[in-house]
Chain A
Amino acid sequence: MSHNHEHHHDHHQESFISKYIFSMDHKMIAKQYLITGMIMAVVAALLSLLFRLQLGWPEDTFPWLESLLGDWGKGGRLDPNFYLALVTMHGTLMVFFVLTAGLSGTFSNLLIPFQIGARDMASPFMNMLSYWLFFLSSVIMLVSLFVESGPAAAGWTIYPPLSALPQAVPGSGLGMTLWLISMTLFIASSLMGSLNYITTILNMRTVGMKMTRMPLTIWSFLTTSILGVLSFPVLLAAAVLLIFDRSFGTSFYLSDIFIAGEALNRQGGSPILFQHLFWFLGHPEVYIVLMPALGITSEVIATNARKPIFGYRAMVGSLLGISFLSFIVWGHHMFVTGMNPFLGNVFMILTLVIAVPSAVKTFNYLATLWKGNIRFTPAMLFAIGLVSLFISGGLTGIYLGNAALDINLHDTYFVVAHFHLVMGSASMFGMLAGVYHWYPKMFGKLMNEKLGYLHFWLTFAAVYLVFFPMHFMGLDGVPRRYYNFTGFEYMSEWMDLNRFISVSAILGSAAQLIFIWNFFYSIRKGKDAPQNPWNSNTLEWTTPVERIHGNWPGEIPHVHRWPYDYSVPGAPQDFIPQTVKDDDLPETLRAPKVAPAPEHATAEASTTETLLFSRFLNLFGLKRA
């Protein structure tokens, strides 16, 4: 990667290993993250199908389970211990490996250098190291599925004592050890990635790329990385104490423990301490998962509605607001731990305040769509789907943030429904929107649109069919993480609904096969992509279709405007890329050289409503860039 190579990239000689395996090119690393994330998603989805099978047909036997799972499926019935392990591994894989590394790793790597105009990351070597640590941690996590005592079974939150005492349940032994090793590597990988993302964004923007001219995707990756840098080390601290409790006999989290009637020599610890440390990461983590998806949605919606994103500064402000608030609300996961009611109130109010920036984002998405010249590409459908899921999942967040209600709803299917909609599915939709939108940038090909539509509608329907009914079960008090509901009369009423959910889950998962086929088939046989398939303004579409080292063959383009100049009245076409100078535009669109222009005179349509809106926004200092 010397200076020469950038100008003679055609002669750039690379071995297979340096190009496809130990690559330091951010585009290749992004693809590596994406493919690894997809593999982990498939595994996690298959695990969920196994436990959905148990929940839907608790009394039936499936002889093939025994041949598939061996001792864990003896007599065609799922072992209860393995059920807990499945739930744990499904959560761990989905939250960390798919939606943290797979989503953030893929799109931060792909888009940060592209969209800010840099040739690569600040430290390409650290970037490569970050991926390979993630790969190693993925392998260890998958290996833990095959150990004799089973994988970790303490839930993805690994609360002690189940996680702290190797003799507690079968999964607390080797499975839990591997979980901790894997997650330690994962944290190191994620920190390296985040350090790199922050440094690259703040230090390596091209000429003219002010912070206020960055696409919202970049803003979301920035806030996500800041959250990662501040919260993952705390999980590491919690894990260190946990490892000492497990292996060296300390009692940070353990006190007065009896196993099988026998008192253990542990005293003075507190399991609540672990919850505090865990959720100090855990709550920012849900925004680490969600915010990149929101950033992708902002970009996809503005591009495909052919309209400037509504309230750019408010969008940035809400990202910052959500990031800040996410650090001071962790207590709302712990309302039932005997928390001081005053403290509970504080956490409750802070939690409900998060509704404000979230609502700002939702309204801005809707206002961007309003009267837009909408193109329903598959990416756009998934982005709109995210907005829908964000609303329906967000509304139940207001219920759960309320301590009085949460004490009733805690650990029920209501919670499962809430976070699967607002965090799980919404982020997954953001990820899929990103894949459909930037696929031409990654592979130089277009995905099949018809299959994309089919994939969207089946997935969208399945998500609601699976998770919406769970609200009703939760309101009835059906607890999560139970192996079998037939033993309790009030819960067995929900048997039919459980079966319905299981069938929907199976169909929804099958629909993902369409996507996987479309994805891999199009790499080879897809239609060739033009350079700027979506007529988008951002810098990544000024790079050549065949993705070269250093991204731009000549100089890095300079940036002259913000990324959302869509449908500007009087402009020659309905988009003005960031690289277009004012001088190249018709006279009417140029900013006056002397006095600062009133903001509606430059780029915005000066209809009465936008005028009123911008005056209204000015009141709050939300003037557009």
Chain B
Amino acid sequence: MMEAAMQGNMAPVKKRQKLHPKEFLMWVFLVSVFMIFAGFTSGYIVRRADGNWVEFVLPVGFLYSTILVVLSSISAQWALIQARKDNLDRVKVGVGITALLGIAFILAQLNAFNQLVEIGMFLVGNPSGSFVYIITGIHALHLVSAIIVMFVIFANVFRYRVHSKNLLGIRLGTIYWHFLGILWIYLYIFLLIMN
């Protein structure tokens, strides 16, 4: 491909070790995703400062999902380490567990939504509740995309496309997964402090 040709062209000249362009692309992408949530959370702060704001206790369900997201990051990292060592069977297990924990996270979020409904906080109503639904909902949408990525990697392991010589895909997937985990922890702590 074009990129390979370009690297071939530059190979004779010594260059310092750089990030793979696609990995760099991923980091810039993460910055832009973060900015969406920076927009939401700063909007939250601005709106809250205006008053007319219904206070409520954040349901405990969000704590469960936080635990799940931490566990899934551990299994994702484990899968990446196993991929470096070419232990393909363990990679399959690791990626599979990560994807399942991701699905469990989504279910935990839905459970937390139910708990919100039980205490009388609906999507439609005072913005203090609506914000929680939107922020967690948009985060969950991103996580769904990450689960799809995990499934793609899972399929690729079976086609022998993930191994120590071809780590880019799984590395990018893991970076994205960790990012969404850290983003969730930020959002959870933010919502805890605010409620």
Q: Is B192 an interface residue (CB 8 A)?
A: no
Residue of chain B at shortest CB distance from A266? B124
Q: How far is the CB of A473 from chain B (nearest CB, A)?
A: 35
Stretch in contact with the other chain, from A154-162, A226-234, A532-540? A226-234
- 1/0 per residue, CB under 8 A from B, across A528-565: the answer is 00000000000000000000001000011000000000
Given contacts A203-B19, A252-B130, A268-B127, contact A555 B9 (CB under 8 A): yes
- B1-51 at interface with A (beta carbon < 8 Å): 1-6, 8-10, 13, 15, 18-19, 21-22, 24-25, 28-29, 31-40, 42-43, 46-47, 50
Q: How far is the CB of A152 from chain B (nearest CB, A)?
A: 21
Residue of chain B at shortest CB distance from A202? B24
A240 to B35, CA, bound (A): 14
Q: How far is the CB of A491 from chain B (nearest CB, A)?
A: 35
Q: Is A597 an interface residue (CB 8 A)?
A: no
Chain A residues whose C-beta falls within 8 Å of the C-beta of B47 in the assembled complex: 252, 269-270, 273
Is the pair B123, A195 in contact by a Cβ cutoff of 8 Å?
no
A238 to B138, CA, bound (A): 13
Q: How far is the CB of B185 from chain A (nearest CB, A)?
A: 20
Is the pair B35, A124 in contact by a Cβ cutoff of 8 Å?
no
Is the pair B21, A204 in contact by a Cβ cutoff of 8 Å?
yes
Q: Is A374 an interface residue (CB 8 A)?
A: no
Is the pair A244, B130 in contact by a Cβ cutoff of 8 Å?
yes
Is the pair A119, B6 in contact by a Cβ cutoff of 8 Å?
yes
Chain B residues whose C-beta falls within 8 Å of the C-beta of A458 in the assembled complex: none
- 1/0 per residue, CB under 8 A from A, across B140-157: the answer is 000000000000000000
Given contacts A199-B28, A230-B31, contact A120 B127 (CB under 8 A): no
Residue of chain B at shortest CB distance from A123? B25
Chain A residues whose C-beta falls within 8 Å of the C-beta of B134 in the assembled complex: 240-241, 244, 250
A234 to B35, CA, bound (A): 6
Is the pair B35, A199 in contact by a Cβ cutoff of 8 Å?
no
Chain A residues whose C-beta falls within 8 Å of the C-beta of B186 in the assembled complex: none
Residue of chain B at shortest CB distance from A200? B21
Chain A residues whose C-beta falls within 8 Å of the C-beta of B31 in the assembled complex: 229-230
Q: How far is the CB of B127 from chain A (nearest CB, A)?
A: 5
Chain A residues whose C-beta falls within 8 Å of the C-beta of B53 in the assembled complex: 268
Chain B residues whose C-beta falls within 8 Å of the C-beta of A194 in the assembled complex: 28, 32
Is the pair A3, B5 in contact by a Cβ cutoff of 8 Å?
yes
Is the pair A233, B130 in contact by a Cβ cutoff of 8 Å?
no
- A256-281 at interface with B (beta carbon < 8 Å): 267-270, 272-273, 276-277, 280
Is the pair B39, A119 in contact by a Cβ cutoff of 8 Å?
no
Q: Is B126 an interface residue (CB 8 A)?
A: yes
Is the pair B32, A119 in contact by a Cβ cutoff of 8 Å?
no
Given contacts A207-B13, A250-B123, A555-B9, contact A234 B36 (CB under 8 A): yes
A interface residues, how many (CB within 8 angstroms): 52
Chain B residues whose C-beta falls within 8 Å of the C-beta of A1 in the assembled complex: 1-2
Q: Is A191 an interface residue (CB 8 A)?
A: yes
Is the pair B124, A118 in contact by a Cβ cutoff of 8 Å?
no
Across the interface, A230 reaches (CB within 8 A) one of B8, B21, B35, B37, namely B35
Chain B residues whose C-beta falls within 8 Å of the C-beta of A163 in the assembled complex: none
Given contacts A233-B33, A249-B124, contact A118 B6 (CB under 8 A): yes
Q: Most A CB atoms within 10 A — which of B34, B126, B127, B134?
A: B127
Is the pair A255, B9 in contact by a Cβ cutoff of 8 Å?
no
Across the interface, A250 reaches (CB within 8 A) one of B15, B28, B35, B130, namely B130
- 1/0 per residue, CB under 8 A from B, across A45-69: the answer is 0000000000000000000000000
Chain A residues whose C-beta falls within 8 Å of the C-beta of B50 in the assembled complex: 270, 272-273
Q: Is A248 an interface residue (CB 8 A)?
A: yes
Given contacts A229-B35, A244-B134, contact A251 B1 (CB under 8 A): no
Q: How far is the CB of B128 from chain A (nearest CB, A)?
A: 8
Is the pair A237, B5 in contact by a Cβ cutoff of 8 Å?
no
Q: How far is the CB of B113 from chain A (nearest CB, A)?
A: 14
Chain A residues whose C-beta falls within 8 Å of the C-beta of B131 in the assembled complex: 252
Is the pair A237, B130 in contact by a Cβ cutoff of 8 Å?
no
Q: Is A2 an interface residue (CB 8 A)?
A: yes
Is the pair B36, A269 in contact by a Cβ cutoff of 8 Å?
no
Is the pair B52, A273 in contact by a Cβ cutoff of 8 Å?
no
Is the pair B36, A236 in contact by a Cβ cutoff of 8 Å?
yes
A22 to B20, CA, bound (A): 26
Is the pair B35, A203 in contact by a Cβ cutoff of 8 Å?
no
A124 to B6, CA, bound (A): 13
Residue of chain A at shortest CB distance from B13? A207
Across the interface, A237 reaches (CB within 8 A) one of B28, B29, B43, namely B43
Chain B residues whose C-beta falls within 8 Å of the C-beta of A238 in the assembled complex: 39, 43
Is the pair B39, A233 in contact by a Cβ cutoff of 8 Å?
yes
Is the pair A251, B35 in contact by a Cβ cutoff of 8 Å?
no
Across the interface, B5 reaches (CB within 8 A) one of A119, A234, A251, namely A119
A207-B10, A250-B127, A252-B130 are known; give 13 further A-B pairs, CB within 8 A.
A1-B2, A2-B5, A122-B21, A123-B21, A199-B21, A207-B15, A229-B35, A233-B32, A234-B38, A237-B39, A268-B125, A268-B126, A273-B50
List the 6 closest A-B pairs by CB distance, nearest first: A237-B39, A233-B35, A234-B39, A122-B21, A233-B36, A249-B124
Query: Which residues from chain A sit less than 8 Å from chain B, CB to CB?
Result: 1-3, 6, 118-120, 122-124, 126, 191, 194-196, 198-200, 202-204, 207, 229-234, 236-238, 240-241, 244, 248-252, 255, 267-270, 272-273, 276-277, 280, 550, 555-556
18 residue pairs bridging A and B, Cβ less than 8 Å apart:
A2-B1, A126-B25, A196-B25, A199-B21, A203-B18, A203-B19, A229-B35, A233-B36, A237-B39, A244-B123, A248-B124, A252-B47, A252-B127, A267-B52, A268-B52, A268-B127, A272-B50, A277-B39
Query: Which residues from chain B sit less than 8 Å from chain A, CB to CB?
Result: 1-6, 8-10, 13, 15, 18-19, 21-22, 24-25, 28-29, 31-40, 42-43, 46-47, 50, 52-54, 123-128, 130-131, 134, 138
